[in-house]
Structure 1
C-alpha cells in the first residue's frame, strides 16, 4: 500500500498569503451562514474539491527482475500473472528470467533479482548458512511428482542398485525423490545411486537416453515418458503431502524497505491464480508459450493437473511444508537441523490478500 504524501509549507510568502485571504474567507462563510448566496452543500464543486483533497496517489511503477527455477507447471501462477497483465495492474514492470534454483538463490542474494520462485529446500539451506531470505508465498505447497521408472523395473526390488536422477543435491526434486524412496522402503543412500543431472528437462532426457533408470516427473514430461514405456512406481502427487516445492522468496532487507512493493507482488499472484483457475483456454495458452508446445492434449493435461489440483487458491507459506526438507538435509547438516523455519516465513502478505478477498 502506498501512503499519501503529506506536504508542509516553509515559504514565508505562502504563509502571509494564507493570512491575507483568511479574513475575506471568514467573512464570506459568515455571510453564507446568515443566508447569503453560496455554493450549495453536495454540489459538483464541493464534491470535486473533497475528492481532490482525499484521493490517494497511485503507486509509482517499479521495475522488478524475477527468476523462476524450471520450465515446469509449478510456475503456471507466475506465468499467468505475467501474461494476464496482472503485474502491470499493480504498477509492477516484471522481467522474468529462467534461473535454476542452485543459481537462483545466489542471484537473489547478490541483488541480481528482487524476487525468486525457487525451491524451499534451497532457501532453507541458504538461511541456515547465514543468508537472510524470506518466503512470502508458497505457490506449490504439495509434491507435484510421480516416480517414473523404466519398463524393466516392475517393483521395489527391481529398483535396487539402479541410478535415480535429481536436478541437484538438496533440491526440491532431490527431497521428493528421497521421500518417495523411503515410502517404498528403500534407503536413498544405500539402495540406489542418486545422480544430479540438471533441470527437469535434462532429467527427462537422461531417462529417455538410459543414463538413469528412475526419476521424479510431472506433466507434461511424465506423459512423454509414459508414451515411451515408462510407468509410475510411486505417486507422491495424489497424496497431497506438504512440500515447499516452489517458494516465492525475497531478501529481508529488500522486504523491510519495500513492503508495499512486496504486497503488490503477492496481490498480483493471487489475481493470477484466480484467473488461471477460472479460464482454461487462457491457462493452456500460457503453458503452450512457456513449454513451446503445440500439443493440445499434453498442455490440457498439464493445465488440469496444476491449475485444478496442485496450485492453491491461498498460497500461504507454512512451517509443515519445510518438514521433509529439514529432516532430509538436517541429517547431514546440523545448522539446517537446528534452524527455526518460522523465522523465514512471513504470512502477513498472503493474509492481507485473503482478508481483502483477492482469492474469491
Structure 2
C-alpha cells in the first residue's frame, strides 16, 4: 500500500509540473543562441548589427547572437564542421569547398555584400602610378599580392589574368599578403599589384601615386562577394526563432543603410573599429559595396563565381547552388513582415 501511495504522490507531483494552474503562463524556453562567424569590418557589419536594441523586436526574447571573428572565410568551414558556429560569412569558392571537401549541410540564407552592382563600388586592384604598368599583360614577370589563395579577390585576379592568357607561376608570381599590408608592400616595391580595400583605395588614389589597373567587375562582372551561410540542421531545428532573427537582422541592415541614419551608423562602426568617423564617410554610399535592401543574395551571380573558380582549378568540382544549397525562405518572410508593418 505504501508503494501505491508513493506512486500516486509521484504522479501528482509530475502532473503539477506539467499542468500550469489556471491564469499562469508556462515558462518560456531560453532564447536560441546564434553563433555567427565574420572576418572583415565594416563590410560584414555582423558585430554591430545588434547594437541598436530599439530597432530589434525579438533580441533576447526568441534569440541572441554571438559574433565570432575569424581571419577569413575558409577557417569558418572548420568551425562549422566542429559545431562551433551556426552561421558563417562565406564567399562563393568557400561554399563550394564546404560542400565538396568538408561535406557540410550548408545553405545560403542571406546577402552580406555584392560587388560591382550598377554604380556601386567594385574591388580595386592597384599598381603604383610610376610602375610603367598600364595593362594586364604588363604584369608578366611581376609579383601579385593576394590576401588568400582562393578568396573572392584572388579568384577575380586569376580570372582577369586568365582573360589575358596569363597563368600563375608561368607569367606572374602570387604572394599572400594580409589586406592591411598590401598598400605598404606596393609602395616598397615588394609586390607590383594588389587588392586595396575601401577606404584605403580612395585615399591612395587621391595621392596621385597609385592607379587602378582593373576591378573585380572588369574581371567577373557583378558578383555575390560575401553571403551568410547556415548549418542546415540548425535552420530546421530552430525555424521559428530564426524567422524572428532574420526579421531583426534585415531591419538592422536597413537601419544602417538608410541615408537618414548615415552619421549615427558611421559613428557606431567607427567606435567599434577604433577609427575616426571621417575615414568611413564612404559607407552606405555608391563608393561602398551594394547590399540588397532585404538581404536577398544574388544566387545567379554566386553560381557564376563558383563556375569560374572551378574553371580556374580552385575547386575540385562544381555544385548546383539552387536548389540544393540555398534557403531564401527566411529573408523572404522577413520582407513580408517588414512590409506588412510599414
After TM superposition, the score normalised by the length of structure 1 is: 0.74
1:131 aligns with 2:104: yes
When residues 116 and 202 of structure 1 are mapped into structure 2, their CA distance, relative to the original with a 3 A threshold, is: farther
1:149 aligns with 2:121: no
SS in structure 2 opposite 1:141?
Answer: strand
Instruction: Please state how far the C-alpha of 1:186 moved relative to its aligned partner.
Output: 4.8
1:336 maps to what in 2?
317
CA contact (8 A) 1:206 1:212 kept: yes
Write the mapping of 1:1-360 to structure 2, written as runs, cut at 5 A.
60-71=30-41, 73-76=42-45, 78-85=46-53, 89-91=58-60, 92-99=63-70, 100-129=72-101, 130-143=103-116, 144-151=122-129, 152=131, 153-182=133-162, 185-189=164-168, 190-198=170-178, 200-227=179-206, 229-236=209-216, 241-278=221-258, 279-294=261-276, 296=278, 298-305=279-286, 310-317=290-297, 318-332=299-313, 335-337=316-318, 339-342=319-322, 343-357=324-338
SS in structure 2 opposite 1:90?
Answer: coil
When residues 282 and 322 of structure 1 are mapped into structure 2, their CA distance, relative to the original with a 3 A threshold, is: farther
- C-alpha separation between the residues in 1 aligned to 2:109 and 2:27? 26
Structure 2 gaps, min length 5? 1-10, 16-21, 117-121
Structure with the largest fraction of helix: 1
- C-alpha separation between the residues in 2 aligned to 1:59 and 1:148? 52
When residues 333 and 227 of structure 1 are mapped into structure 2, their CA distance, relative to the original with a 3 A threshold, is: closer
SS in structure 1 opposite 2:67?
Answer: strand
Structure 1 gaps, min length 5? 1-9, 15-48
- C-alpha separation between the residues in 1 aligned to 2:26 and 2:308? 48
- C-alpha separation between the residues in 2 aligned to 1:58 and 1:220? 45
- C-alpha separation between the residues in 2 aligned to 1:240 and 1:328? 11
Instruction: Please state how far the C-alpha of 1:68 moved relative to its aligned partner.
Output: 0.6
Instruction: Please state how far the C-alpha of 1:300 moved relative to its aligned partner.
Output: 0.3
> What is the aligned-residue RMSD (CA, Å)?
3.4
Deviations 1:246-295 (A, max 9, x none): 11111112122122233233222211121012110122113313432115
After TM superposition, the score normalised by the length of structure 2 is: 0.77
CA contact (8 A) 1:147 1:180 kept: no
SS in structure 2 opposite 1:97?
Answer: strand
CA contact (8 A) 1:172 1:244 kept: no
1:36 maps to what in 2?
none
CA contact (8 A) 1:283 1:303 kept: no
Deviations 1:82-110 (A, max 9, x none): 22235674333322222021212211221
Number of aligned residue pairs: give it.
308
CA contact (8 A) 1:69 1:104 kept: no
2:8 maps to what in 1?
none
Greater Rg over alpha carbons, structure: 1
When residues 150 and 341 of structure 1 are mapped into structure 2, their CA distance, relative to the original with a 3 A threshold, is: same
- C-alpha separation between the residues in 2 aligned to 1:341 and 1:207? 37
SS in structure 1 opposite 2:295?
Answer: coil
Instruction: Please state how far the C-alpha of 1:303 moved relative to its aligned partner.
Output: 3.8
When residues 82 and 305 of structure 1 are mapped into structure 2, their CA distance, relative to the original with a 3 A threshold, is: farther
Instruction: Please state how far the C-alpha of 1:125 moved relative to its aligned partner.
Output: 1.3
SS in structure 1 opposite 2:97?
Answer: helix
CA contact (8 A) 2:247 2:335 kept: no
- C-alpha separation between the residues in 2 aligned to 1:87 and 1:211? 47
CA contact (8 A) 2:217 2:223 kept: no
